[in-house]
Amino acid sequence: MPRDRTAREGVEWMRHVDVKEKVATLGGSLPDWAVFRRLGDLTKLRAREGRFFPVNYESGLLLYALVRHHRPRSILEIGTGRGFGALCMAMALEDSGGPGTIVTVDMLGADDPQEWALDDGSGPRMARLSRREVWERHVEPRLRDRIVQLKGSSFETLRGLIDEGREMDFVYVDGDHTYPVVRHDVYASLLLARPPFRLLLDDYTPLSHLYGVRRLVDEELDPVFEAEAIHTDGRWHGQPEENTPVAQSDQAQVLLDSERVRKRLDEAFPRAKVARIVRVHETWPRVLDRLSALRSLVRDLASSGRAKERK
């Protein structure tokens, strides 16, 4: 549910910046915008009522700049989608010339077909394709080889990584944006994080179906980290929203940096406490299953009662 007062307080705490400003502070060279445009047209294009349009290709540019600057060796992405974010980060790892692997998790596996809007140069179209089909046809092997794809919910896949003792120094959280799930994903990421680390959360916004990110940032993360809200969608040079004031933008990516904090992380997030929170949230799928079963039972009882009334 919306918590307007908390959200306003969060905005007062947090620094809001334009993606152009943030990328400039990171320094380093970037591929031409056309590179992100082409990759976006293959893996992030959207379609609605027969109309095709790009959505936040600038998020890939931000991911590239962050990874190129910080040079993480182990990256976790929660929510692969069609692969735009993972491929942009793989490109940054390749261009930096160092080691590095991306583990990306999603409910759909590499071979699972999904509805796919794309423009491969022959015009935009809809198709039912898997990531493997598109990646093998259009993405260089050197980028694909940097990425390990895991199929499953973030509850099960992150638990597996935690139990294996894996460590990550960059995490991109772009999965389910409901509060219980995104809270699980962030706290599980804290168990995996190896200082110095960075977490980037997508979709900090007042939109109700994505509000879990905003609530979590405002209530639990921004009071601890010196968080940055980086506004990306349509804001790169020459794009439609380039000159829109940040104050008028209602959607951002939030960056958390373990080296920029308001409180000691080991005091704000003691490992035992974080582990308990993760365990509690891991019960969420079972709760949803029980609620679904209960709703089905209620529907069956109601249907049975109506049938008896007709007799």
Residue 63 has pLDDT above 70, yes or no: yes
- Give me the pLDDT at residue 207, please: 83
310 part of a folded domain: no
- Please classify residue 115 by burial: count the beta carbons closer than 10 Å to its beta carbon, then call 0-12 exposed, 13-18 middle and 19+ buried: exposed
pLDDT of residue 253: 96
- Is the pLDDT score of 12 beyond 80? no
Q: Tell how strand 74-78 and strand 168-173 pair up.
A: parallel
- Assess whether pLDDT exceeds 60 at residue 20: yes
Residue 255 lies in a domain: yes
Kindly tell me if the per-residue pLDDT of 6 is higher than 50. Answer: no
Residues of the chain with pLDDT > 90, as a percent, come to 78
Q: Which of 4-18, 46-60, 231-245 shows the lowest per-residue confidence on average (mean pLDDT)?
A: 4-18
pLDDT at 7: 44
Is residue 287 domain-resident? no
Can you give the pLDDT at residue 61?
96
CATH at 130: 3.40.50.150
How many structural domains comprise the chain? 1
292 within some domain = no
84 part of a folded domain: yes
pLDDT confidence tier of residue 10, bands split at 50, 70 and 90: very low
pLDDT at 306 over 70: no
Q: Which residues contact 50 (CB under 8 A, 6 or more apart)?
A: none
C-alpha 226/C-alpha 217 separation (Å) is 11
Note whether residue 251 is domain-resident: yes
Amino acid letter, residue 181: V
pLDDT in tens, 279-305: 999 997 766 555 555 566 577 566 666
Task: Give residue 44's domain range.
Answer: 4-281
Residue 256 located in a structural domain: yes
Return the pLDDT at 49.
92
Q: Is 113 helix (H, G, I), strand (E, B) or coil?
A: coil
| CA-based nearest residue to 132, from 43, 48, 211 | 43
Q: Mean pLDDT over all residues of the chain?
A: 90
State how far the alpha carbon of 246 is from the alpha carbons of 203, 233, 235, 252, in Å: 15, 11, 10, 10
Q: What CA–CA distance (Å, rounded) separates 60 from 84?
A: 7
Assigned domain for 65 exists: yes
Of 148-157, 188-197, 291-300, minimum mean pLDDT range: 291-300
Euclidean distance between CA atoms 63 and 56, whole angstroms: 12
Q: How confident is the model over 167-174, as a mean pLDDT?
A: 98
